[in-house]
């Protein structure tokens, strides 16, 4: 079987037999490998579940689009990229990781919470990093979708860092909460579609962060809830308003009054999350599902995505007549664009459009 690797640091992997991969070897760098029995209907991305035999540095393999075979009898060739496993033991690791994806997900950016020892609780430092990331995304026209996730399994975010909060004076608490609320509002107002991947516990402020995203994906065993009343306070990061707009005031009151924690599966039934999926052995099933959702969004016209988000967000806050006027204005934004003409031309020529955001 043909395969292409670099000679140094080869790592043998035991792969999913359903993919019929023979003698697969990968390196720490990019590589190409020939696969058997892969049907185009599988889509552009394949997830090869691996057992690492010689190293724990690699967590998974991200597999790109099929290439045409030069000869009809050749096996299809797939471009693959290794994704390194994030480790909490890395010295001086940043508390917030920002990654721009490539391949079939070019245009997608991932923001990863990386404070495992504090269950990704928002400290002053993490809040500052989060604010900086928001500003970069806000003015980057190349971004088409954003995924917010935890870099560690079993947790999303515990909300505010209560240990740090305990050291604050009453005069400091107010400004910090105000800054957190403003940051979450700025995140909610980002012009691009946002997806929250919840692969563990998301309570209190962590739940409020997830509610600021346009879409949420959770693992079935995720734990979610606005539990602030148990601490004799109320959600202060927009939780009371965002959850009531998702599930209605009555159910929102029940969840907040009781401080109840629910599973991801139950959250999907109530409409709090878009999708709930069984957890995998790596603990990142929600993130993997979020990647698939992002893959569906990335090919769409970027100007249209932003206009659609603005129309929905602004229109949902007003009466129907005003909302329809807002939709008309947002539609008008797409008319003079090169992307609109490209979409029409591609449809006529029966090919995929190449949108540039112009």
> What residues are labeled active site?
160, 205, 208, 228
Cβ contacts of 46 within 8 Å, gap of 6 or more: 19, 38, 63, 78
By the 10 Å C-beta count (0-12 exposed, 13-18 middle, 19+ buried), 110 is classed as: buried
What's the order of all strands across the beta sheet hosting 51-52? 25-26, 11-14, 51-52
Cα torsion through 165, 166, 171, 174, rounded to 10: 30
Q: Report the distance separating Cα 95 and Cα 151, nearest Å.
A: 10
Which of these, 75, 169, 61, 150, lies nearest to 112 by C-alpha position? 150
Contact assessment for residue 265 and residue 257, using Cβ atoms and an 8 Å cutoff: no
Cβ contacts of 128 within 8 Å, gap of 6 or more: none
The CA–CA distances, whole Å, from 83 to 31, 57, 60, 105, 358 equal 12, 9, 6, 14, 32
């Amino acid at each position: 079987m043909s395969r292409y690797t670099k000679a140094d640091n080869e790592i043998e992997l035991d792969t999913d037999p359903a993919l019929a991969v023979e003698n697969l070897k990968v390196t720490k760098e990019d590589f190409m490998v020939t696969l058997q029995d892969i049907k185009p209907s599988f889509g552009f991305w394949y997830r090869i579940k691996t057992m690492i035999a010689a190293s724990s540095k690699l967590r998974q393999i991200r597999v790109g689009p099929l290439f045409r075979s030069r000869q009809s009898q050749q096996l299809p060739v797939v471009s693959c990229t290794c994704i390194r496993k994030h480790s909490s033991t890395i010295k001086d690791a940043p508390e917030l990781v920002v990654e721009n994806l490539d391949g079939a997900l070019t245009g997608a950016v991932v923001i990863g919470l990386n404070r495992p020892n504090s269950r990704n609780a928002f400290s002053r430092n993490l809040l500052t990093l989060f604010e900086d990331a928001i500003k970069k995304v806000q003015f980057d026209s190349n971004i088409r979708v954003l995924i917010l996730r935890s870099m560690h399994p079993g947790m999303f975010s515990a909300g505010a860092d209560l240990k740090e909060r305990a050291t604050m004076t009453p005069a400091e608490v107010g400004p910090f909460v105000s800054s957190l609320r403003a940051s979450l509002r700025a995140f909610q107002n980002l012009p691009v579609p946002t997806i929250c991947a919840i692969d563990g516990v998301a309570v209190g402020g962590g739940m409020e962060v997830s509610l600021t995203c346009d879409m949420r994906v959770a693992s079935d065993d995720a734990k979610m809830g606005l539990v602030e009343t148990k601490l004799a306070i109320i959600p202060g990061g927009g939780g009371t308003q965002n959850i009531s707009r998702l599930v209605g005031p009555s159910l929102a009151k029940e969840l907040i009054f009781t401080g109840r924690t629910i599973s991801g599966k139950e959250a999907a039934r109530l409409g709090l999350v878009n999708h709930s999926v069984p957890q995998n052995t790596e603990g990142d099933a929600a993130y993997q599902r979020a990647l698939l959702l992002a893959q569906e969004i990335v090919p769409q016209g970027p100007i249209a995505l932003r206009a659609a988000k603005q129309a929905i967000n602004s229109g949902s806050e007003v009466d129907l007549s005003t909302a329809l006027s807002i939709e008309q204005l947002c539609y008008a934004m797409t008319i003079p664009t090169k992307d609109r003409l490209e979409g029409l031309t591609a449809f006529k020529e029966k090919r995929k459009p190449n949108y540039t955001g112009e």
